[in-house]
Each structure stands twice: as C-alpha cells, then as structure tokens.
Amino acid sequence: MDKYSGKLAVLCQSLSDKERSQELADRLDVPLYGFVGKECPESFFLSWRDGCLKLLDKELLKKGGLVVDIEPRNGEQRSWPAPKQDALAQALGRKTKTVVDATTGWGQDSLHIFRMGYDLLCIERSPVMAELLCDGFNRLLAEDWIQTLKLQPPQLLRGNAIELLQTLNTLPDCIYLDPMFPPKRKKSALAKKSMVVLRDLLGDDQDREQLFEVALKVSGKRVVVKSPDYAEPLGGKPSESYQGKLLRYDVYLKN
C-alpha cells in the first residue's frame, strides 16, 4: 500500500456496489470503507455515484467529485466522425489514421480524437486515472450512438508509455503527448492541500523529455505535443505549430 498509503481509499455506500468496490480496493491495494470518519487519514476516495466512478475530495464529500466526462466539450461536434477543423485536428494531420495518446489523463483530448474518427490507442500510467478512464470508456460503450454505429471505445493500456510505446507491434501514424508542465508563476499562492495530493495521486511528468524521445523514435510519421503557450517547445523547434486558446500544438515530423 506504499503508493497510496494514507492518501486514497475506496468508499462503498451501497450494497449493490460492494463486490466491485472490494475488487477496486484490491487492485489498487487501498482500504475499503463504508463511511468516512474523522479518523480516516486519506484525503481522496474512489466511489461509484450517479452511475459512474468518481474521485472525491474528503473536504467535499457531498459535492459531485471528479469523473471522466464522456460528453463533448463546448464547441465540439456530437456527430461521428466529427469534422477535423480545429487546431488539434490540423496538428494530427489529415492523412493520419492511427493515433496513440501516450498521456491520456482525464481523456478529454482522447475522446475528441476518437469522435473525429481516428483509430485511437490510449496509454495511462496512473492506476487511479486508469480506473476512472476504464469506467468512462465502459459508459461510452453503452451510449446509443456507439451502439447504433457499432463502434468500440478506444483501447486502454495501463502502464508507463516510455516502456509500452517500445512494445507496439505496429507503428502509429501519430503519437500525441500532453504532459504536465510546471505552472507559469513560480511564486504562486500556496496550492490547496487537496490539489497537491491530487497531483501526487496522478503522478508528475518529470520524464517528459524522455517520453518525447521515445515517441519520436517509434512514431510512424509525427509527434504532436500539447503545451501551454508560455512553455518552451518540448523537443526544440517544431516542424509546425498550431495555436489554440492559451495552448499550442507543436508538430514534429519524421524525416
């Protein structure tokens, strides 16, 4: 229980969720509680609520919690395949067919890429985030439009992308990276304790340079790096760059 000891537990408040909650606690090697008392040292809890798996903050247990949202974001098309018109689509490339999202995170970019019709493989190394993604993709599978079109949600690989990318049988046309960058302000106000713990739970990206090098090596045609507009390009001067709102997509083309 070293990884999440004192930080994370599973909360089960319904008998119907008892079996899967126990299985989840066993997979993550964390405690299972039926209620949260003052003596509980954990700051975060995974729990099934409203038909989905949520990450709950101990200080805000009665609030909604964090969940992988399978609905399109504002401005994104609901049709499938959605038009490839925005900066992300331009960066991925019109001739691109296969994409690996090596830093899936909350899956919002992944789901947008999926809805645009790309053949997508997702990789996530955080065990907690992988559980939330798996739940989200299972809910996606139950959506009417997915059923009608007989589509399958993206495949999800759990583990370190630096290692997994080198085991792929087929080189993807594009590898997409959205690593965590340091905040803009070095002397920002002290972050809320729960946010510090959340970042600790999901893991940091101190090895993003190494991940980029591996991605460039195994990608068939290009690597796309999403970064905040203030950050230096991860791989040096990009071949192309597409500007979004407060962010940038740097494209590195293979020779």
pLDDT tens-digit profile of 167-203? 999 999 999 999 887 666 654 444 565 666 667 777 6
Which residues partner with 253 through β-bridges?
222
Identify the pLDDT of residue 181. Answer: 74
Range 134-155 average pLDDT: 96
Max mean pLDDT range (5-14, 17-26, 243-252): 17-26
Strand order, beta sheet including 174-177: 155-158, 119-124, 98-101, 174-177, 222-228, 247-253, 240-243
> Does the pLDDT at position 6 exceed 80?
yes
For 87-253, give the CATH class.
alpha beta
Identify the pLDDT of residue 76. Answer: 76
Identify the pLDDT of residue 187. Answer: 47
How much of the chain, in percent, has pLDDT values that exceed 70? 91
How much of the chain, in percent, has pLDDT values that exceed 90? 72
Identify the pLDDT of residue 193. Answer: 59
> Does the pLDDT at position 108 exceed 80?
yes
Identify the pLDDT of residue 233. Answer: 95
> Does the pLDDT at position 94 exceed 70?
yes
Measured CA to CA, the distance from residue 168 to residue 29 in angstroms comes to 29
Range 116-141 average pLDDT: 96
User: Taking the complete model, does pTM exceed 0.95, yes or no?
Assistant: no
Mean pLDDT score of the chain, rounded to an integer? 90
Measured CA to CA, the distance from residue 57 to residue 46 in angstroms comes to 9
> Does the pLDDT at position 211 exceed 80?
yes
Nearest in space to 254 (alpha carbons), one of 96, 109, 113, 118: 96
Identify the pLDDT of residue 65. Answer: 87
